Every structure is written in structure tokens, then in C-alpha cells.
Amino acid sequence: MTSLERTFERVLVPLDGSRLAEASLPAAKALARHLGSMLVLVHAVEEDPPEEVHGQPHLGSTAAAQHYLEQQRNLCLEDGLDAEVHVTEPQDTDVAQAIAQLAERFDTGLVAMCAHGRQTLRDRFLGPVAQRALQGGGPPILLRTPGASPDLPMDIDHILVPVDFRHDLTATMEDLLTLAKGFDAAVTLLHAVDAGVTGLPARMLPNTALELSEKTQEAARQHLAELRDRLCDEHIPTEMIVSLKDPDDAIIDCAHERSTDLIILVTRARSGVAAWYEHSVGHSVIGEPGLNLLLLRSPNE
């Protein structure tokens, strides 16, 4: 089995009984329908569980968790989807570490989860849970940003791929090929050009700055064209865009303008002090409502 097949073969879906956690299910079920993924529904019973989580009743016992997960599994089976359930002992108190541990324990190649939409001081300093799980060695994460509904089915008709040529794109392209073929989806390749010479030097040397920007854009178009041609050879409808916007704005604007169903995003998954001094595009996009992200850790890290 290739690493590509392993990514989507078994999908971990952590559930705590809340509607917020259930919002990850439509995305996981979409993979199961189109790629034949096995859904691994799991809940880790806490030693001293709260009565509520996200303002909703929490699973407080092993029996309650087992009953709840079996209900969710039956709903999957009614849709013709394969699912298994696991209720485990308490995990690491750090949610990101717990997710990575569960993914390893149940041999899953992908985690489906939702962003909660409230950024705490811990999130600001250490980074969002999804990125910390990646940094801790966890598998890729299928993340639904705030506002996702657990009731509306999800399909993938359009995939946006922001391309950063500093990253090794091998795994990204392999995952993209699998998803685009499995869902019969169209693809947009997006690159946000580095502004190059800016500020006072650009004002002092405007012709040099303009020439450098034009050369950078042309080089980006050539690199994107190579990726586009590879996808077109696989009969995948593909367009390419070179944007002069800030990467965050370029991704978010393009996603909304094209009603994108999934963004495949390679992130450096920085956390701690490093995240304060080196901007992470993924950190900003995760906070944008209404997006579905496949987060891959950069192999360069």
C-alpha cells in the first residue's frame, strides 16, 4: 500500500457528543462515499469529565460514550459507509497530543475535526490544535473551520491548492490527484508572488522593482503551468492563478470567489515562540469561517 492510499484508508473522527464535533462528520462521510475510507469514531473518556462541552451535554461515562458512538455508527451504516467505534481511557490532557496518540493507536492516516472558533491565549501562543497536532507528528488533518454544519452533506466539486514552491509538493500532488479523481473535481492552483523589492528601495528604484516583480510572476506562471499540465494529463480540469495579494488574502478571496469546497494547504505547523516571529499562512486561514482544509505538514520541517 502506498503512503497516498494510507492517507485516506482510515479516517479518525474524534467525537465528544457535541454538535460542534459532529460537524466533522459530513467531511469524513464524503471521503468514505467517494474513496471507500473506513471511519474510525472515537471518544476518550475523561477521569473527571465536565457536564457540558461547547455549551452542550458531554459524554460522562464509558457506557454513554459507547451508546453514542454506536448510534453514529448506525447512521453511517444506513448510508452504506463503513465505520468502527472505540471508547478509550483518558488520553494526554493536551488535546493536540491526544489526537496524535489516538491516530497512531488506531493506525489512521487522516484526522477529521472542527475548529471551535474561539481562540484562547493558549491558542495564540502555542498555535491552533490542528497545527499543534501536525507539529507533534500526527497525520494530515481534514479541518472544518467555524460555522460548519453537522446536518448538511458535503461534496467536493472544486479544490483550491495554494502553491508555495519552497515546499516539496510531491505528497500534495499525490493527495490532490486522489481527491480530484475520486470526486471528479476541478482544481485551481494559486501562487501568491512575493512582493520582492518594497518600501523605500522600491520608491528609489521603481524600474528595478517592476522588472523584478514581472520576472517573479513569469517564473511562477511557468512552475504552475508544469503542475497544471500534469493534472490535465490526468483529465482533471485545472486553472492557475498568480496573485499579487498577501498569501492569506489571496487564499481566502479565491476560496470564496470560486465557492471552493476544499483547500489543500501545506503548513509549516509552527508553534510557540517561532509562530510569533515567522508568519504561518495556515494559522490565519484556519480562523476564516466556512472553509474546509486538508492540512499537510511541510516535509521540509
The pLDDT profile of the chain, 301 residues, written as one tens digit per residue, is 444 456 899 999 999 888 989 999 999 999 999 999 999 999 988 777 666 666 676 787 889 999 999 999 999 999 999 999 999 886 656 677 888 888 999 999 999 998 865 544 334 333 466 767 776 667 899 999 988 999 999 999 999 999 988 888 888 899 999 999 999 999 999 999 865 544 444 444 454 444 556 888 888 999 999 999 999 999 999 999 999 888 889 999 999 999 999 999 887 655 443 333 345 555 678 888 999 999 888 766 5
Residue 92 has what pLDDT?
A: 55
**The residue to which cell 460548519 is assigned:** 148
Do 115 and 214 share a structural domain? no
Residues 85 and 162 in one domain: no
Q: Which of 109, 143, 177 is the last residue of a domain?
A: 143
Pair 290, 259: CB distance under 8 Å: no
From 230, 218, 153, 221, select the one nearest 187 (Cα to Cα): 230
Instruction: With CA atoms as reference, report the closest residue to 156 among 3, 5, 18, 8.
Output: 8
**pLDDT at residue 154, rounded to an integer:** 95
Looking at the fold, whether 11 and 116 belong to one and the same domain comes out as yes
Residues 30 and 135 in one domain: yes
Cα-flanking dihedrals φ and ψ of residue 264, to 5°?
-95, 115
User: Whole domain around residue 197: which residue ranges?
Assistant: 158-260
Rounded CA separation 52/115 (Å): 18
Q: What is the DSSP letter of 193?
A: P
Q: Give the integer Cα–Cα distance in Å for 25 and 2.
A: 25
Query: Residue by residue, what is the 3-state secondary structure of 67-131?
Result: HHHHHHHHHHHHCCCCEEEEEECCCCCCHHHHHHHHHHHCCCCEEEEECCCCCCHHHHHHCCHHH
Prediction pTM value: 0.85
Strands (E), the chain: 10-14, 38-44, 52-53, 56-57, 83-88, 110-114, 141-144, 158-162, 186-192, 238-243, 262-267, 292-297
Per DSSP bridges, beta strands 52-53 and 158-162 are: unpaired
Q: Is 105 in the same domain as 166?
A: no
If one counts the domains in the chain, the total is 2
Report yes or no: 21 and 27 within 8 Å, Cβ to Cβ: no
> Are residues 138 and 180 part of one domain?
no
Alpha-carbon gap, residue 127 to 20, rounded angstroms: 20
Same domain for 163 and 42: no
Same domain assignment for residues 181 and 249: yes
Residue with cell 490532557: 93
Question: The CATH number of the domain where 115 resides is what?
Answer: 3.40.50.620
The residues facing 154 across adjacent strands are none
Is-contact 106 10, C-beta < 8 A?
Answer: yes
46 lies in the same domain as 82 = yes
